[in-house]
Structure 1
Amino acid sequence: MSPDRAMHGIDGRVPPSAREITTGQANRVWSVAGPTPYILKHYDDPNRAANEAAALRLLARHRAPSPQLLAASSGSSTPPWTAQTALHEEPVSVDRFLADLAEPLAAIHRIPGTHFGRLAGARQHHSWSDYLHDRLHTYATAAPALRATARLLHQEVAASDNAIQPVLLHHDLQPGHLLRQPVGSRLLIDWELATFGDHRSDLARLAVRLDLDDPTPVLAVASRPDPTTESQLYLHWRIHLLADAALSTDRAVRERAAKRL
């Protein structure tokens, strides 16, 4: 047992008094009371567990607005898990979401990356275009009917600016993942999809999660607009739509994304 787990008495098992608060499909989540209250997450995918643990460690080093990692499983644990500080704040309301997201997102996007792609548990890339080509290949393989769309996006990626410096991306921005603290600051939660890459990809995925017909409203939270921001936003928006159309387990989501493409 690692020192942090010994300190908090956390071993990944669900205590009898734990209260399940699972809301998604991929993980199970419990709120655990006690001398050190914490949130326990069990993951279906060990790579997502490793990635979230790596993201939370990085965020702590930069004192960024996120939960703290109390403990995490080793690579052999089944199921893989993390324990994070318990948060009792309420999610920011939908009508305030974009306005309240700007400040914490700017702080996240100031954290530099060491490569492109997931922080842990996945292939690392030397350039953002390499990462995008790899993702497009994955989507086209999963959904052969969308190969023509993927081919066009490959061409656009190849023709776009490759001089991107990687920064930390949350990559799952949506209402419910932004919490309001009593003192007024905001926290972002659920970091299992965190990636190093182009900050405009975060905005584009946000537009998909908000179910927008046009991604430009999310530019309200852009911290570093430049002449290419809007065109790159549209490119990344279509890539994320293709991801949903190819990989979503929800048929309605797949069909809606394919229609927008």
Structure 2
Amino acid sequence: MAMTHAPGTLQDGIRAVLNSVCGTAVTVGEPRQLTGGASREVWALDADRPDGRPLPVVLRRDPPGHGDAARMRAEAACLRAAAAAGVPVPTVLASGDSAPGIDAPYLLMSKVEGESFPRTLQRNPVFEEVRGHLAEDMGYVLGLIHRTPLDTLGMLDATDPVDAIEVIYRDLDDPRPAVELGLWWLREHRPPQRPNTLVHGDFRIGNLLVDGTGIRGVLDWELAHLGDPVEDLGWLCVRAWRFGAPAPVAGIGTRDQLLDGYERATGFRPSASELHWWETFGTLRWLVLSRFQAERHLGGAEKSLELAAIGRRVCESEYDLLDILGLLDDSVALPPPASPGPTVHDRPSVPEILDLVAETLVDDIGPALEGNQERQRYLLRICVNLLRTAGRELDDGAGADSLLGDALGAVGCDSEAELSARLREGALPYRDDGVLRAVSIAVSARLRVASPRHLNG
């Protein structure tokens, strides 16, 4: 008996698009939403042509009601241009500003087989051989991207990257002294501009599909633009994209390996100081973009557990920025967490309750999620991390706030916002010892609660 489907569903919308592309009726399975996709939704599904040949596809679409059709059209153009230049990318099957059932700007692509989960690529023995040359492969593929002809990419913009990220930061109205320090340093040490090329904008482990031979696909072109090609190389070296592993390039290889591959593809090799500047810029950029993503939840535009959790991780990039610039005050010692005082309430205490719930989610509920429940596992991990963050904040007490207040007072400021304003105006030098002490205290205190392992990494 033939199955029927409710009209206007996502499944129906994809079927209609595939039927139009293939010129014949296609059997389409149930779409499955994948993890990630903080700004766009990603869905996978299995389809079959009438002759039985499989047609696995992936749909990227904007969240309905939050679409950017021009940006999606640009992404499709980048994929087609990169493919013609020899970059390994999924084949674009169809794209559009909307379609019935899809109800948002979309991009429908062939599915490329490969692993993208960072820790699997970093640790699994299956990828041991490819890890030996993956950093060089990434450099080579970036070189191919930067050699892509621009004649079909006139819709892409080219803006000053420091100015652009500062505009986003100012619009957030969330003053952060660490960002002010970074902006001063970037403008003082800027290297000469290289000729503009296609820049992927988010080339990192997690946006690559890898098998035992190497890179099979480069994904997520939504941030592609015209700019200095070394931007992509620096972004790949940002600590956030090492996912806890020590190697400087994606937690897998060395900067020299990356540049070896890049030089093989392009014939030139950026200097160490040039790469360092762009890695610093990438660190500040991720700091601002992560706060921008969190604002979509915090400002009420889009309720999202994922986006909310990103807000608590901004301090990781603050710390990384101070670290890469050598501006951390190593003499800072935070006071130990406060001992709980007497209370009318029974035990378990609130921190104990949060810890118990987190352990239950990890030990009992998580293992019960079987089969095709990848996204549920992903969301569960976020819940656990947020519960533990809340518990650490309750344990931490007010000692760090008091220490920060004293440090801010020593440079004539009442708050981090005032310190940010005075740094921006140049009223305080960004390398002043008192300034660096106050900023280091604030960032370290946030990080001790939100991500204590990052302090020790």
TM-score, normalization: structure 2?
A: 0.46
Query: Is residue 104 of structure 2 the alignment partner of residue 83 of structure 1?
Result: no
**Which whole-Å CA distance do the structure 2 matches of 1:144 and 1:229 have between them?**
29
Deviates more, 1:172-181 or 1:52-61: 172-181
Partner of residue 256 from structure 1, selected from 307, 316, 328 = 316
In structure 2, the partner of 1:18 is 30
In structure 2, the partner of 1:195 is 225
**Which whole-Å CA distance do the structure 2 matches of 1:170 and 1:152 have between them?**
23
1:53-132 matches, within 5 Å, as: 53-74=76-97, 78-91=103-116, 93-94=121-122, 96=131, 97-113=134-150, 120=155, 124-125=157-158, 130-132=160-162
Asked if structure 2 preserves the Cα contact closer than 8 Å seen for 1:245 and 1:255, the reply is no
Q: Relative CO higher for 1 or 2, CA cutoff 8 Å, sep ≥ 6?
A: 1
- SS of 2:175's equivalent in the other structure is helix
What is the root-mean-square deviation of aligned Cα atoms in Å?
3.6
Percent identity of equivalent pairs: 21
Q: Which structure has greater strand proportion?
A: 1
Report how far residue 32 of structure 1 moved: 3.4
Asked if structure 1 preserves the Cα contact closer than 8 Å seen for 2:32 and 2:44, the reply is yes
Provide Cα deviations, 1:70-112, integer angstroms capped at 9, x if missing partner.
Answer: 1101378831111111212333812525344232222112225
**Which whole-Å CA distance do the structure 2 matches of 1:184 and 1:238 have between them?**
27
In structure 2, the partner of 1:230 is 275
Query: Is residue 257 of structure 2 the alignment partner of residue 220 of structure 1?
Result: yes
**Which whole-Å CA distance do the structure 2 matches of 1:240 and 1:159 have between them?**
16
Corresponding letter in the other structure for 2:107: T
Query: Is residue 60 of structure 2 the alignment partner of residue 41 of structure 1?
Result: yes
Partner of residue 45 from structure 2, selected from 25, 28, 31 = 31
Asked if structure 1 preserves the Cα contact closer than 8 Å seen for 2:201 and 2:223, the reply is yes
Corresponding letter in the other structure for 1:252: R
Report how far residue 238 of structure 1 moved: 3.7
Asked if structure 2 preserves the Cα contact closer than 8 Å seen for 1:200 and 1:236, the reply is no
Unaligned runs of 5+ in 2: 1-16, 50-54, 124-130, 263-268, 295-309, 322-457
Asked if structure 2 preserves the Cα contact closer than 8 Å seen for 1:133 and 1:154, the reply is no
Partner of residue 164 from structure 2, selected from 127, 134, 142 = 134
Report how far residue 211 of structure 1 moved: 4.9
**Which whole-Å CA distance do the structure 2 matches of 1:119 and 1:236 have between them?**
25
Asked if structure 1 preserves the Cα contact closer than 8 Å seen for 2:79 and 2:221, the reply is yes
Partner of residue 6 from structure 1, selected from 7, 11, 20 = 20
Asked if structure 1 preserves the Cα contact closer than 8 Å seen for 2:46 and 2:56, the reply is yes
Corresponding letter in the other structure for 1:221: L
Corresponding letter in the other structure for 1:236: F
Asked if structure 1 preserves the Cα contact closer than 8 Å seen for 2:71 and 2:222, the reply is yes
Asked if structure 2 preserves the Cα contact closer than 8 Å seen for 1:136 and 1:239, the reply is no
**Which whole-Å CA distance do the structure 2 matches of 1:163 and 1:257 have between them?**
25
Asked if structure 2 preserves the Cα contact closer than 8 Å seen for 1:204 and 1:215, the reply is no
Report how far residue 257 of structure 1 moved: 1.2
Asked if structure 2 preserves the Cα contact closer than 8 Å seen for 1:113 and 1:168, the reply is yes
Alpha carbons of structure 1 residues 245 and 49: separation in structure 2 relative to 1, 3 Å: closer
- SS of 2:195's equivalent in the other structure is coil
1:137-176 matches, within 5 Å, as: 137-146=167-176, 149-150=179-180, 153=183, 156-157=186-187, 160-176=190-206
Alpha carbons of structure 1 residues 253 and 161: separation in structure 2 relative to 1, 3 Å: same
Corresponding letter in the other structure for 1:39: V
Deviates more, 1:142-151 or 1:220-229: 142-151
Alpha carbons of structure 1 residues 94 and 214: separation in structure 2 relative to 1, 3 Å: closer
- SS of 1:137's equivalent in the other structure is helix
Corresponding letter in the other structure for 2:135: L
**Which whole-Å CA distance do the structure 2 matches of 1:209 and 1:229 have between them?**
19
Corresponding letter in the other structure for 2:122: V
Report how far residue 18 of structure 1 moved: 3.0
